[in-house]
Amino acid sequence: MADGSIGLWTVPLAVLGGAIRVSTPFLFVSLGECITERSGRINLGLEGTLVMGAMSAYGISYLSGSPWLGVLAAGITGALLGALHAGICSLPRVNDVAVGIALMLFGTGLAFYLGKPLIEPTAPRLPAIDFGWWSDIPQLRAALRVNVLFLIGVALAPILYWAFRTTRWGLLIRTAGESSDAARAMGHSVLLIRLRATMVGGFLAGIGGSFLSLFYPGSWNEGLSSGQGITAVALVIFARWDPLLCLWASLAFGGAAALGPALQSVGVTSGYHLFNAAPYILTLAIMIITCSPKRTLTGAPAELSITR
Amino acid sequence: MDFGRISRRHLLQGGAALTLGAAAGARPAFAADTTIGFIYVGSRDDYGYNQAHAQGAAALKKIPGLKVVEEEKVPETDAVEKTIESMINLDGATLLFPTSFGYYNPHMIKMATKYPKLRFEHCGGLWSDKDPKNAGSYFGYIDEAQYISGIVAGLTSKSGKLGFVAAKPIPQVLRNINAFALGARSVNPKATTQVIFTGDWSMPVKEAEATNSLIDQGVDVLTCHVDGPKTMVENAARRGAFVCGYHTNQSALAPKAYLTGAEWNWEALYPKFVKMIAAGEGIPNFYRGGLKEEIVKVSAYGESVSAEARKAADEAKAKFLSSDGFAIFKGGLVDNKGKTVIAAGTDRGQKDPELEKMDYLVEGVIGATS
């Protein structure tokens, strides 16, 4: 220990640190998608929204010098992409899954195009809060350097859970998702509810992107997302459209992503490809354990095009 | 050019190619308006591999009479053949540089066979005499610069633990890891180099996690072999560790943490290629070189590099530049499983093709190739 190494403790610590560092984009995208899907629509385009959010946050932070302005810009960009998705989907006979895939490609392509000049400059980053001040182990302190966005995300999950159950807005979103006829009979425009839900979902996904470029890994480049947006969309199904389960699932994915590198660093070097695949193995395992051919997925909104 | 150390086989290949080329007129001298095509696998400004090539292309743009066309993010599939076709037929390119490893076989070979009058130059491939004579492969012994980075890292590290964030265990990557580790051990025999493979060329989140895990293990100097070293450099610097760069100079990202780095020097090589063609001598089909041939270079030392480290690194550099050269991989080399991989008494010189098939990690490297 004299040389500053903590040996095998690296692995649980890295998983903890990874859960905190890597999970935030998963958390924001999955909570956003949770809102959208509860209203009865799937937005697969959130991968593109995530990348656009990352790019615009980095660009605005670089140009204005304020990372928080970057976060706001990322949210607005995400909301606009959400509005685009909802707008196209409100036309008759449009498939939301197909539109989502188109917007995923559009978002990433546009972000790469606009983000070209942003790869080289270094933008101001979001600050971290040091929760490890009580410890004198530098590794633990590093793992506990937490960003405010992570805390907001963690707080947002129970708030959404509560809002879906007890607020008027939550009820409206759920009604639109469970039975659009019922919502229409109550005198509400289903399209308007879904437009708002998709915009809020896009807003959150954009903020998730800003975390990637402004906090961790903390710079803009084209490989930044490497599929995290689409993973987070799948995570919503995995979490059964429950915001609280989204939180746990995101943390598990973040921790699992850190497992591969951490095991290699302590000398478990065989089969690292397998450990790198840990998050996906976890998903498959849980999907297989919980699925049943006799019923539809529990918790799935009835209006969702994949369940209808 | 000094080809004193090249094997006789390659000399014969080169000679045969030259005669053949001259006889068939396959290599025309360049007229005033020559178009050169560059194809990159990733983004041209990635602070890494592709940017290094783009800097080489930029050097060509400055030469009057040359027109450079570029396309980036071309996957290593049929797509590169389409790009080559369009560069030839629409832009009139007569010299092509498909720069990514996976372009070589079958894509570039196929195109070179189809257009025997044009010249194709590939970075990293292993040209053999079965391949078309109008195709060629060039590469730099960047492990020489990695060896020097290793010396600086070994003398800067307090813990004696060095870290290497690598993409995939292919020969070129393993050779860099081994050279870095051997450089460090030449000045600090107890130094270890811990390697983490991320699995692909551009995985920013994994690279950041690998960097953090290494530092958690007590590693205090890191380097990497991934497409864009920016993530590793920035995250390591944030944690207070030192870094050695790769591909291009990343010192602007972390001036205090940046010690030195292994850089490509394509902006020196590509104009040289063009001159060779203009002079009518042609480019040798199998072209290799290191520091002496100015294909690779070492970044200027950062402010944190001690006088002792500068001196040791400069001495090593002088050895590479000397007329005898310097063999990094000497006889009696043992891998990290205890197996002798190079028999005692047979030094493997830099131009030895055996080194381009490397599949082991040397003693002092913590990690495994599979």
pLDDT tens for B51-92 read 999 999 999 999 988 999 999 989 889 999 999 999 999 999
Give residue A297's pLDDT: 66
- CA nearest B204 in A: which residue? A224
Tens digit of each residue's pLDDT (9 = 90 or more) over A143-162:
888 899 999 999 999 999 99
pLDDT band at A8 (very low <50, low <70, confident <90, very high): confident
Which residue stretches of chain B are H helix? 8-24, 49-61, 78-89, 109-114, 143-156, 171-187, 204-216, 230-238, 266-278, 307-321
Q: How many CA atoms lie within 13 A of A99 on its CB side?
A: 21
The C-alpha atoms of residue A144 and residue A147 are separated, in whole angstroms, by 9
With CB atoms and an 8 Å threshold, state whether B204 touches A228.
no
Task: Please report residues of A whose CB lies closer than 8 A to that of B46.
Answer: 119, 221-222
CB-based contacts of A295: which residues, under 8 Å, 6+ apart? Answer: none
CATH code of the domain occupying B143-262+296-366 = 3.40.50.2300
The C-alpha atoms of residue A61 and residue A49 are separated, in whole angstroms, by 18
Whether the upstream peptide bond of residue B116 has omega within 30° of 0, thus cis, is no
With CB atoms and an 8 Å threshold, state whether A119 touches B46.
yes
Question: Which stretches of chain B drop beneath a pLDDT of 50?
Answer: 1-4, 6, 8, 11, 14-29
Which stretch of A24-38, A115-129, B187-201 has the lowest confidence by average pLDDT?
A115-129
pLDDT exceeds cutoff 80 at A20:
yes
Asked if the C-beta of B216 comes within 8 angstroms of chain A's C-beta atoms, the answer is yes
- CA nearest B211 in A: which residue? A261
- Domain extents in chain B: 8-140+265-289, 143-262+296-366
The C-alpha atoms of residue A196 and residue A53 are separated, in whole angstroms, by 18
In this structure, what token pair is assigned to residue A12? 């649980």
Neighbours of B3 (CB within 10 A): 15
With CB atoms and an 8 Å threshold, state whether A119 touches B45.
yes
N-to-C CA span, chain A? 58
Helices (H) and strands (E) in chain B, counts: 10, 15
Q: Which residue has the higher pLDDT, A280 or A52?
A: A52
Question: CA nearest B106: which of B80, B129, B136?
Answer: B80
CB-based contacts of B284: which residues, under 8 Å, 6+ apart? Answer: B3, B14, B17, B18, B136
pLDDT band at A10 (very low <50, low <70, confident <90, very high): confident
Beta bridge mates, B281 = none
Q: Which amino acid appears at position A211 of this protein?
A: F
pLDDT band at A302 (very low <50, low <70, confident <90, very high): confident
The C-alpha atoms of residue A233 and residue B353 are separated, in whole angstroms, by 48
Domains B8-140+265-289 and B143-262+296-366 share a fold: yes
Q: Cα-Cα-Cα-Cα dihedral of A152, A153, A154, A156, to 10°?
A: 80
Give residue A17's pLDDT: 85
- CA nearest B210 in A: which residue? A261
3-state secondary structure B229-291: CHHHHHHHHHCCCEEEEEECCCHHHCCCCEEEEEEECHHHHHHHHHHHHHCCCCCCCEEEECC
Strands B296-298 and B258-264 come out as antiparallel
Give residue A222's pLDDT: 84
Asked if the C-beta of B202 comes within 8 angstroms of chain A's C-beta atoms, the answer is yes
pLDDT exceeds cutoff 80 at A2:
no
Give residue A238's pLDDT: 82
Give residue A131's pLDDT: 86
Asked if the C-beta of B256 comes within 8 angstroms of chain A's C-beta atoms, the answer is no
Tens digit of each residue's pLDDT (9 = 90 or more) over A177-220:
999 999 999 999 999 999 999 999 999 999 999 999 999 898 89
CATH code of the domain occupying B8-140+265-289 = 3.40.50.2300
Asked if the C-beta of B217 comes within 8 angstroms of chain A's C-beta atoms, the answer is yes
In this structure, what token pair is assigned to residue A121? 């400059």
* Domains of chain A listed by start with CATH number: 7-290 (1.10.3470)
CB-based contacts of B28: which residues, under 8 Å, 6+ apart? Answer: B94, B117
Tens digit of each residue's pLDDT (9 = 90 or more) over A244-290:
999 999 998 888 888 888 888 877 777 777 777 877 787 788 778 77
Q: pLDDT averaged over chain B?
A: 88
Min Cα–Cα distance to chain B from A71, Å: 19
The C-alpha atoms of residue A54 and residue A224 are separated, in whole angstroms, by 8
Contacts with A, B 83-112, CB within 8 Å: none
Q: Which residue has the higher pLDDT, A299 or B37?
A: B37
With beta carbons less than 8 A apart as the criterion, state whether A259 and A278 touch.
Answer: yes
pLDDT exceeds cutoff 50 at A68:
yes
Tell me what percent of the residues of chain A surpass a pLDDT of 70: 94
With CB atoms and an 8 Å threshold, state whether B196 touches A264.
yes
Question: CA nearest B167: which of B250, B223, B99?
Answer: B223
User: From the candidates B162, B217, B231, which should be mutated to test the interface with A, based on the most A CB atoms within 10 A?
Assistant: B217
Asked whether the CA dihedral B175, B181, B184, B186 is positive or negative, the reply is: negative
Q: Mean pLDDT over residues A41-47, rounded?
A: 94
